[in-house]
Amino acid sequence: MKTNYLMLHTITRIVSFIILSFSIFLFFAGHNNPGGGFIGGLMTAAALLLLYVSFDIKKIKKVIPFDYSTIIAWGLLIAIGTGLYSMLFGYPYLTQFFEYYTVPIFGEIGLKTALPFDLGIYLVVVAVALLSILTIAEDDT
């Protein structure tokens, strides 16, 4: 029997984008305010999962054709690389640097090496959460 998930699909299309944009806000809010890579990543994973649940896994696979295990590896590499970067200049591993720049429209913003580190964490969290859930979900036998 073919069921019609019209309500679910319509709402998902809107809600998942709200969640996604909020997750990106959380990701950038980190460091000086509540937020950060882990929370942002979990929320992104939640948004993507909502897509997987309401549409079919196969369909979303076509839309998001990434191999999550490689994303985990890249995320970890970015995070480690941020730490190694400080060793190049003779500081201990994982030393943070920050600098403030003035950008038109946005005004003064701070750039920190914690940001790429958080990006790495973000990628890892998204990929791990999706990978572990999809591994169980795909297994129909």
Partner 1 sequence: MNDIILLPVLIPFIVGVILILFKKNIQLQRFVSGLTSLSLVFVSIYMVYLIYQDGIMTVELGNWQAPFGIILVGDLFASIMVTLASIVAVACLFFAFQTLHPDREKYYFYPFYFFLLTGVNGSFLTGDMFNLFVFFEVMLLSSFVLIVMGRTKYQLRESFKYVVISIFGSMFFVIAIALLYSVTGTLNFAHLAERIGEVEQTGVLTVIAILFLIVFGIKGALVPLHFWLPNSYFGPPTAVAALLGGLLTKVGVYSIMRTYTLIFTHNQDFTLNIILILAGLTMFIGVIGAVSKFDFKKILAIHIISQVGYMIMGLGIFTQMAIAGAIYIIAHNMIVKTALFLYCGATEKVTGTTDLKKMSGLLKTHPQLGWLFFIAAISLAGIPPLSGFFAKFALVLGGLDAGNYFIVFVSLVVGLLTLFSMVKIFMYVFWGSPSLTPEQAKERKVGKLLLPGIPLIIISFLMGILAEPLFILLFEAADQMLDPSIYINSVLKE
Partner 2 sequence: MEILMILTVGVIVSVSTYLILTKSLLRVVLGLVMLAHGAHLLFLTMAGLKEGAPPLLGEYASSYADPLPQALILTAIVIGFGVTAFLLVLSYQTYKAHKTDDLDELRGSADE
Give least dist CB 94 to partner 2, A: 14
Per CB under 8 A, the list member of 10, 95, 132, 135 interacting with partner 1 is 95
Residue 103's H or E segment, with its range, is strand 98-103
Per CB under 8 A, the list member of 10, 21, 70, 135 interacting with partner 1 is 70
Per CB under 8 A, the list member of 11, 18, 64, 87 interacting with partner 1 is 87
Question: Cα torsion for 66, 34, 95, 69, to the nearest 10°?
Answer: -20
Give least dist CB 109 to partner 1, A: 22
Give least dist CB 15 to partner 1, A: 33
69 binds partner 1 (CB under 8 A): yes
**Do residues 9 and 53 lie in contact, with contact meaning Cβ atoms separated by under 8 Å?**
no
**Do residues 94 and 112 lie in contact, with contact meaning Cβ atoms separated by under 8 Å?**
no
Nearer to partner 1, 10 or 70 (CB): 70
Q: Which residues pair with 109 in a beta bridge?
A: 101
136 binds partner 1 (CB under 8 A): no
The Cα–Cα gap between 48 and 43 comes to 9
